[in-house]
């Protein structure tokens, strides 16, 4: 568990807040309703001084050093958009002896090794629950509750905007652009929404969660991912015929060799599975452990107050000097990421010429309309990892409900089919 120091339990937290957008303003309002936290915002650093804001003018500054060099401020909360300035702020804050709470997924995913080093070097807390599934306390659960050895798999919807868009398109029959616009208006989408739509936000969050789940510290560039940009209405028709939902799913699974398979890709989800009930901006996480079997976490994954609630909870945890101990990283043997497995997948496309049929172990179903064609087959995962044909030319790849097939299973199935053929 995090370290508890009783005499500091009611210590006063004086906050310097960076960013007053959807999350920053949400936090400002939420803090006004939670006096029990004994936390106040002393100053807010913003980029554009001229914008009208719903808070007293004297609270704001555009000079980051006013916050970073103020010795009374003992907590920096950083909820800005740009990743590099965020890293600079967080580093300086930790080095200046302040605890930090951050919601910057991209910054954390891209700078995890440096952030781990800074935490060790300074002994200060760096908490980031809002950088994973917004209101769902998944990081703290992975940190505190699940032992690496017992954690068999995690499967999650970690991006609210794409889940919102898929729900609006396929259930409410909105077109993609209208659904995206609505996600932006409701404050779910990133300021550059292609980060959501093309899967970058989800893989950044997955990078953060892999560190807390398994101690794996990997750059997001090394994790296979895609977003929902290639999903077509015809894919939704196939999903409906097969009684599936289409979701953008992040998953990690312990393979028989003890290594970890991890990726973020669209997937067909059976309609009786918990993740199929996750609609709109909600997120969901299914954790499978050796003895408990499956557990399901569900909650709002985007939006002002749900995200602010995670920041608020991290601020509250600082009262008793909570910090992540990264037990899986520092006190366990860290499992490697591994790509030596196969995936069963649906692929729809405009023309057969875009599909390297010879790369498939087998194709078990195919369908060809003049307009759109699809197949369901089994590919080595390395074909997905090392090539990009499956993202190009209007090709849409959606994994099957149980997509991971291990090498031994492929060999068993091949042997069986040769026996059946009398060879
Ligand atoms: N754009 C993000 C999402 C916001 O849609 O999930 C919450 O991290």
Q: What is the pLDDT of residues 396-422, one digit of tens each?
A: 999 999 999 998 888 888 777 777 777
For residue 253, give its domain range: 138-299
pLDDT at 5 over 70: no
Q: Is residue 187 part of a domain?
A: yes
Please name the residue that has the structure tokens 């209007």. 394
CATH code (residue 383): 3.30.70
Q: What are phi and psi of 417, to 5 degrees?
A: -70, -35
Ligand 1: nearest atom to the Cα of 193: 1
- Residue 4's pLDDT is 43
Nearest residue (by CA) to ligand 1, atom 8, is 302
- Residue 24's pLDDT is 97
Q: Is residue 183 part of a domain?
A: yes
Name the band, by pLDDT with cuts 50, 70 and 90, for residue 7. Answer: very low
CA distance 86 to 144: 27
| Residue of 166, 182, 201, 248 best suited for mutating to test ligand 1, as the one with most atoms within 8 Å of CB | 201
- Residue 148's pLDDT is 74
Name the band, by pLDDT with cuts 50, 70 and 90, for residue 10. Answer: low
- 159 and 94 housed in the same domain: no
- Cβ 302 under 6 angstroms from ligand 1: yes
- Cβ 301 under 6 angstroms from ligand 1: yes
| Residue of 185, 189, 307 best suited for mutating to test ligand 1, as the one with most atoms within 8 Å of CB | 189
The per-residue pLDDT of the chain, averaged, comes to 94
Residue 26, exposed/middle/buried by CB under 10 A (0-12, 13-18, 19+)?
A: buried
Nearest residue (by CA) to ligand 1, atom 7, is 302
Q: Is residue 351 part of a domain?
A: yes
What pLDDT, in 10s, does the model give residues 187-212?
999 999 999 999 999 999 999 999 99
- Residue 69's pLDDT is 98
- 178 and 197 housed in the same domain: yes
What pLDDT, in 10s, does the model give residues 21-65?
999 999 999 999 998 888 999 999 999 988 889 999 999 999 999
- Residue 409's pLDDT is 84
| Residue of 159, 250, 282 best suited for mutating to test ligand 1, as the one with most atoms within 8 Å of CB | 159
pLDDT at 103 over 80: yes
Q: Is residue 315 part of a domain?
A: no
SS3 string of the chain?
CCCCCHHHCCCCEEEEEECCCHHHHHHHHHHHCCHHHCEEEEEEECCCCCCCCCCCHHHEECCHHHHHCCCCCCEEEECCCCHHHHHHHHHHHHHCCCEEEECCHHHHHHCHHHHHHHHHHHCCCEECHHHCCCCCCHHHHHHHCCCHHHEEEEEEECCHHHHHHHHHHHCCCCCHHHHHHHHHHCCCCCCCCHHHHCCHHHHHHHHHHHHHHHCCCCCHHHCEECCCCCCCHHHHHHHHHCCEEEEEEEEEEECCCCCEEEEEEEEEEECCCHHHHCCCCEEEEEEEECCCEEEEEEEECCCHHHHHHHHHHHHHHHCCCCCCCCHHHHCCCCCCECCCEEEEEEEEECCHHHCCHHHCCEEEEEEECCCCEEEEEEEEHHHHHHCCHHHCCCCEEEEEEEEEEEHHHHHHHHHHHHHHCCC
pLDDT at 423 over 80: no
pLDDT at 20 over 50: yes
Q: What are phi and psi of 373, to 5 degrees?
A: -125, 155
- Residue 1's pLDDT is 43
CA distance 115 to 108: 7
Q: Is residue 157 part of a domain?
A: yes
- Residue 260's pLDDT is 97
CA of 335 to the centre of ligand 1 (A): 28
CA of 129 to the centre of ligand 1 (A): 13
As a whole number, mean pLDDT of residues 2-10 equals: 48
- 150 and 285 housed in the same domain: yes
- 145 and 218 housed in the same domain: yes
Show the tokens assigned to 396.
Answer: 């849409």
CA distance 362 to 344: 10
- 146 and 293 housed in the same domain: yes
Residue 334, exposed/middle/buried by CB under 10 A (0-12, 13-18, 19+)?
A: middle
Q: Looking at the 3D structure of the chain, how many domains does it have?
A: 3
Identified catalytic residue from 43, 98, 124, 205: 205
- 127 and 12 housed in the same domain: yes
- Cβ 129 under 6 angstroms from ligand 1: no
CA of 191 to the centre of ligand 1 (A): 10
Determine whether 105 is an active site residue.
no
**At which of 299, 322, 350 does a domain end?**
299
- 152 and 184 housed in the same domain: yes
What pLDDT, in 10s, does the model give residues 345-382?
999 999 999 999 999 999 999 999 888 999 999 999 99
- 142 and 288 housed in the same domain: yes
- 21 and 124 housed in the same domain: yes
What pLDDT, in 10s, does the model give residues 313-345?
999 999 989 999 999 999 999 999 999 999 999
CATH code (residue 183): 3.30.360.10
Q: What percent of the chain has pLDDT above 70?
A: 97
Residue 359 CB partners (closer than 8 Å, separation 6+): 379, 380, 383
- 358 and 388 housed in the same domain: yes
CA of 301 to the centre of ligand 1 (A): 6
**Facing residues of 376 across strands?**
346, 365
As a whole number, mean pLDDT of residues 223-252 equals: 97
Q: Is residue 325 part of a domain?
A: no
**At which of 131, 160, 176 does a domain end?**
131
CA distance 256 to 338: 11
Sign of the C-alpha dihedral computed for residues 310, 315, 317 and 322 taken in this order: positive
**Facing residues of 268 across strands?**
246
As a whole number, mean pLDDT of residues 87-96 equals: 98
**At which of 299, 321, 353 does a domain end?**
299
CA of 132 to the centre of ligand 1 (A): 9
Q: Is residue 273 part of a domain?
A: yes
CA distance 49 to 27: 19
Query: With contact defined as beta carbons under 8 Å apart, do 390 and 374 qualify?
Result: no
Higher pLDDT, 148 or 137: 137
- Residue 322's pLDDT is 96
- Residue 80's pLDDT is 96
| Residue of 188, 194, 204 best suited for mutating to test ligand 1, as the one with most atoms within 8 Å of CB | 188
Query: With contact defined as beta carbons under 8 Å apart, do 315 and 75 qualify?
Result: yes
- 245 and 230 housed in the same domain: yes
- Cβ 314 under 6 angstroms from ligand 1: no
- Cβ 134 under 6 angstroms from ligand 1: yes
- Cβ 201 under 6 angstroms from ligand 1: yes
- 144 and 231 housed in the same domain: yes
- Cβ 283 under 6 angstroms from ligand 1: no
pLDDT at 9 over 70: no
């Amino acid at each position: 568990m995090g370290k508890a120091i009783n005499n500091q339990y009611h210590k006063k937290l004086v906050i310097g807040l960076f960013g007053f957008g959807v999350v920053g303003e949400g936090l400002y309002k939420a803090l006004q309703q939670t006096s029990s936290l004994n936390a106040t915002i002393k100053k807010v650093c913003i980029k554009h001084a001229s914008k009208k804001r719903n808070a007293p003018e004297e609270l704001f500054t555009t000079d980051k050093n006013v916050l970073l060099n103020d010795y009374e401020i003992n907590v920096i909360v950083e909820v800005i958009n740009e990743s590099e300035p965020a890293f600079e702020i967080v580093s300086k804050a930790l080095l200046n002896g302040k605890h930090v709470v951050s919601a910057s997924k991209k910054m954390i995913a891209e700078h995890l090794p440096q952030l781990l080093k800074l935490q060790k070097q300074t002994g200060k807390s760096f908490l980031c629950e809002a950088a994973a599934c917004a209101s769902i306390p998944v990081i703290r659960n992975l940190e505190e509750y699940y032992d690496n050895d017992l954690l068999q798999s995690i499967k999650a919807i970690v991006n609210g905007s794409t889940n919102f868009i898929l729900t609006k398109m396929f259930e409410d029959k909105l077109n993609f652009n209208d659904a995206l616009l609505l996600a932006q208006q409701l404050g779910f989408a990133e300021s550059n929404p292609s980060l959501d739509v093309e899967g970058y936000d989800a893989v950044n969050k997955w990078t953060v969660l892999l560190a807390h789940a398994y101690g794996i510290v990997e750059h997001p560039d090394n994790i296979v991912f895609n977003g929902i940009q290639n999903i077509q209405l015809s894919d939704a028709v196939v999903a409906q015929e097969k009684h599936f939902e289409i979701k953008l799913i992040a998953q990690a699974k312990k393979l028989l060799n003890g290594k970890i398979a991890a990726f973020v890709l669209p997937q067909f989800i059976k309609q009786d599975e918990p993740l199929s009930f996750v609609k709109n901006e909600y997120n969901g996480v299914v954790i499978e452990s050796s003895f408990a079997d499956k557990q399901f976490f569900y909650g709002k994954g985007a939006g002002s107050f749900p995200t602010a609630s995670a920041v608020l909870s991290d601020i509250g945890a600082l009262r008793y000097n909570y910090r992540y101990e990264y037990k899986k990283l520092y006190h366990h043997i860290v499992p490697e990421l591994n790509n030596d497995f196969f995936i069963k997948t649906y692929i729809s496309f405009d023309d057969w010429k875009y599909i390297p049929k010879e790369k498939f172990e087998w194709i078990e179903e195919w369908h060809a309309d003049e307009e759109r064609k699809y197949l369901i087959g089994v590919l080595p995962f390395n074909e997905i990892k090392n090539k990009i044909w499956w993202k190009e030319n209007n090709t849409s790849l959606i994994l099957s409900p149980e997509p991971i097939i291990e090498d031994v299973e492929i060999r068993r199935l091949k042997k069986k089919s040769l026996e059946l053929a009398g060879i």
